[in-house]
Structure formats: structure tokens, C-alpha cells
Amino acid sequence: MRIDIITVLPELLKSPFEASIMKRAQEKGLVEVFFHNLRDYGLGNYKQVDDYQYGGGAGMVMMIEPIDECISKLKAERDYDEIIYLTPDGKTLNQGIANELSLKKNMILLCGHYKGVDQRVRDLFVTREISIGDYVLSGGELAAAVLADSIIRLIPGVLSDETSALSDSFQDNLLAPEVYTRPAEYKGLKVPDILLSGDFPKIEEWRHQNSVERTKERRPDLFEN
């Protein structure tokens, strides 16, 4: 997979890709990530990327020309399966969307700022609009990092134990069960006996039951669809 990220603030975005699982995925050659500073495509001596909005009102709007330049350059080099705009008015990210996107080959992530991008960018180039939740961030960069992380860990071979992504919360619309490690008793709090029993079919059954109970209690909405 190749991910191209278009941003006015690459420095805000780089470090999550330089640690842990996202770093390892790149080292293993399973994903390539490239950052494109939109400012490099800005207009005039000041490398302008935003302007006042037509009709008046507070806040700047990201202009179409620099974004067109950057996207057109990338599209001339290869085909893209998706051009995703991160925006609070997009479709809310969930595990199903992450699963679907983990099967793609090339994608562009476009990070918005200020009041967002000129509507014509969305009309002309964007194939999907994704929000990471009902709150507003200062820009799309942190959302792009969240989206990329949720996708990259699902690419086969990225996680060393392939079953561990399958047993994540939400993978089957259930929350993950409680987990424990040593010691077996801590300050009077014991690990459930079943987990020490070595009876693996029973343990699986207990875990499933625990997932169902936790989901009922914490996220009853997950049973609705």
C-alpha cells in the first residue's frame, strides 16, 4: 500500500509514522507513506494556499489551485483507489471502513485547515470524506494519522500475531473481553479461575460471553445493527 498525505503542516504529522507499528510496517515494506507540503504548490511569492471566503464570514478557505496542482502531479504518476478528505462533516470512521480501506493499493489523504477546502475540491477530486468523531480538530492532520493507523495495522503481515487484529474490539461488532497477566493475585484481586484452567474451549466460551456482557453494558448501540 502507498499513502500520500497532503498537508500544510507535515511536521505535525510525521512522528506517529516514525514509531511502533506504523514504523515497522514501513520497514517491512508493507506500506509506503509520503508527505506533500501543500505550501510547495502555493500561489505567488508568498506561496499562498488559502483566501477569504466568498459571501463574507470569518475564517479562511483552502484554495483549489494548489490542491489541484499537487493531486494532478500525483495522479500523473500512478492511479489512486481513493482520495480521502478528512473533515468533521464526513462519514464517521469505524472498523468496517478501516477494514475496507486496508485492501486498497494507493490512496491520498487530504488534510483540511481553517474553514476547510473550496467545495470544488470535494466535487472534483475527493472520493470519500471521513470524520474521526463528532468534535472539531484544528486540522485534518491528527485525523489522518488516526485513519492511517487504523488501516495500516490491518494489512496482512503488519501485526506479528495475525490473530490479534481479528480479536480487536469491533472486529465482530463486539468489544474485546477483559484481559489479565501476572500476577494471578494482586492486593486481593484474583484473575478469573477459568483463565488459569488450561481448558481452552471453555476459555474461548468465557471470553465470548465476557465480550457480549461488556458490549451490552458499555455499547448497547452496537447490537442495533
Binding residues (CB under 6 A) for ligand ADE: these are: 86-88, 112, 131-133, 135-137, 140, 143
SS (H, E, C) 38-77: HHHHCECCCCECEEECCCCCCCEEECHHHHHHHHHHHHHH
38 versus 159: smaller Cβ distance to ligand ADE: 38
70 versus 137: smaller Cβ distance to ligand ADE: 137
CB-based contact 37:28 (threshold 8 Å): no
Minimum CB distance to ligand ADE, residue 223 (Å): 25
CB-based contact 210:202 (threshold 8 Å): no
Q: What is the rounded CA–CA span in Å between residue 147 and residue 151?
A: 6
Minimum CB distance to ligand ADE, residue 138 (Å): 7
Minimum CB distance to ligand ADE, residue 114 (Å): 10
Minimum CB distance to ligand ADE, residue 63 (Å): 18
**Residues in contact with 111: Cβ distance below 8 Å, sequence separation at least 6, in sequence order:** 5, 6, 7, 8, 9, 13, 86, 139, 140, 141, 143, 144
Minimum CB distance to ligand ADE, residue 111 (Å): 8
16 versus 112: smaller Cβ distance to ligand ADE: 112
Minimum CB distance to ligand ADE, residue 85 (Å): 8
Closest of 147, 165, 109, 104 to residue 16, by C-alpha = 147
Q: What is the rounded CA–CA span in Å between residue 44 and residue 21?
A: 40
| CB atoms near residue 16 (< 10 Å) | 18
Greatest extent of the chain over all pairs of C-alpha atoms, in Å? 71
24 versus 115: smaller Cβ distance to ligand ADE: 115
61 versus 143: smaller Cβ distance to ligand ADE: 143
116 versus 177: smaller Cβ distance to ligand ADE: 116
